[in-house]
Structure 1
Amino acid sequence: MTSPYRAVLGADFDELHPRLRAYFDAIPAGSTGRGRGVFDTVGTPRRWLWPVLAVFARSGVLFPVWQRRVPFTVSNVPATGADGSPAVRAERVFALRGRSRVMRDEIGVRDGALVDRLGSPVRAEAVFRTRVVDGGLRLASTRVVLCAGRLRLPLPRGIAPVVVLTERWDEAHDAQHVSIVVAHPLLGRLYQYAGTFRYDITPGE
């Protein structure tokens, strides 16, 4: 089976840096992609947002913190969407001071676009526009939906936060660099994390 990223990018997938192609390509059945690194920053210094983030923290989406130099691990396993399309389930463990936090999501394909379902249970869903830029991957959300059980609340474009994810290969550090920024059209940057990690595929769940 192909990966959701290859399915969406098509021929553009081969424009990714070779080390990124290994990360975004399909994970063999029975194997797990494992990464370990350090985030330079996690969260937001805007403490008035923390009560809202605490609600999402219960499902492992966003966390009410502002910390630097946070060790983390990531585990990716192959999955299949309800319609049979390729998907990847990810678990990121943030070794935050005070306690570790776990973020879970599943990224798949719908109508030719990447869709990320965030949280356990799912609390938000983001649809992304996907591009390869200078050998790196850039995702920018075009639609955000809040979820609570069967209730789905699409946010109007004028008030919906925009999620931008960039992944690139850092030659100087021989590591993969990831950055996620959540910003609001009126309020500015709401949340972020960014750092570097190394990653490989290992047999076994």
Structure 2
Amino acid sequence: MRHVSQSPYAEILGDRLDQLHPHLREYFSSLPEGHIGIGEGTFSRVGTPRRWLWPLLRPLHERSVIYAGWQLSVPFRVTNRLIDGRVVSEREFLLPGQGWTMRDAVSVNPHGRLVDELGESGVVAASFAVDVRDGALRMRSHTVGIRWGSLRVRLPRFLSPVVDLTESFDEVIGRQRVLVTMELPLVGRIYEYAGDFSYRIEEKKP
């Protein structure tokens, strides 16, 4: 019998996991040992059209946190692995003439909150409130911190971006949809990506 580890999403949601659309329940529940999750689809938009933000976002781009630019109709591939209770993901953006990869790891912290560590060495970390609405997963950031050397600095609310994520399933097209937005106080939306994809679980190759 294959061993199945519980995902951090399942740990946080508890009985609410059953309120998710069946396809999302599979996506957020668990992965059998020796298997990975593969999603392939297209982002209708990614980044920010505000060009003046691109140089400011470039350091995070170089650390695999967010894309510093603006593109439409971007094919992508996401690979999910469940490692010691953490969902470790890589999102490969197939950009025109180049590739770029976003990396993150989701876990439950000692305080019982869902935490997403983004980029190389978890340079940015955000804790989230998680809910289920109409079969979709909704997440909103509670706190955001930045790693500075060996220190983790929590951003004050007036400087902290608010990240919203919605994962849903579209019965019409038979694909999963994702929408992520990042808003900064006094500035407004500074980053987003939205798209749809198909998802499958397959055995890891040796």
- Give the TM-score taking structure 2 as reference length: 0.95
Q: Equivalent of 1:2, from 1, 6, 30?
A: 6
Q: Is the 8 A contact 1:59 1:122 kept in 2?
A: no
Q: CA deviation at 1:61?
A: 0.6
User: What do residues 148-198 of structure 1 show as CA deviations (whole Å, max 9, x unaligned)?
Assistant: 331211101122000111000011110000010011121000000000000
The one-letter code of the counterpart of 2:201 is: I
Q: 2:65 matched to which residue of 1?
A: 61
Q: 1:194 matched to which residue of 2?
A: 194
User: What do residues 102-133 of structure 1 show as CA deviations (whole Å, max 9, x unaligned)?
Assistant: 00000000122110000012210000000001
Q: 1:139 matched to which residue of 2?
A: 139
Mapped to 2, the partners of 1:149 and 1:24 lie a distance apart of 32
Q: CA deviation at 1:96?
A: 1.0
Mapped to 2, the partners of 1:5 and 1:64 lie a distance apart of 28
Q: Secondary structure at the match of 2:121?
A: coil
Q: Secondary structure at the match of 2:9?
A: helix
Alignment of 1:1-205 (within 5 A): 1-80=5-84, 86-110=85-109, 111-204=111-204
Q: Is the 8 A contact 1:122 1:148 kept in 2?
A: no
Mapped to 2, the partners of 1:140 and 1:149 lie a distance apart of 27
User: Which deviates the most, 144-153 or 189-198?
Assistant: 144-153
Mapped to 2, the partners of 1:104 and 1:4 lie a distance apart of 17
- Give the TM-score taking structure 1 as reference length: 0.95
Mapped to 2, the partners of 1:48 and 1:198 lie a distance apart of 34
The one-letter code of the counterpart of 1:106 is: A
Between the two proteins, what is the percent identity of the paired residues?
A: 45
Mapped to 1, the partners of 2:162 and 2:97 lie a distance apart of 29
The one-letter code of the counterpart of 1:158 is: F
Q: Secondary structure at the match of 1:10?
A: helix
- Root-mean-square deviation over aligned CA pairs: 0.9
The one-letter code of the counterpart of 1:15 is: Q
Q: 1:83 matched to which residue of 2?
A: none
What is the count of residue pairs matched by the alignment? 200
Return 5+ residue gaps in structure 2 as ranges.
none
Return 5+ residue gaps in structure 1 as ranges.
81-85
Q: Secondary structure at the match of 2:106?
A: strand
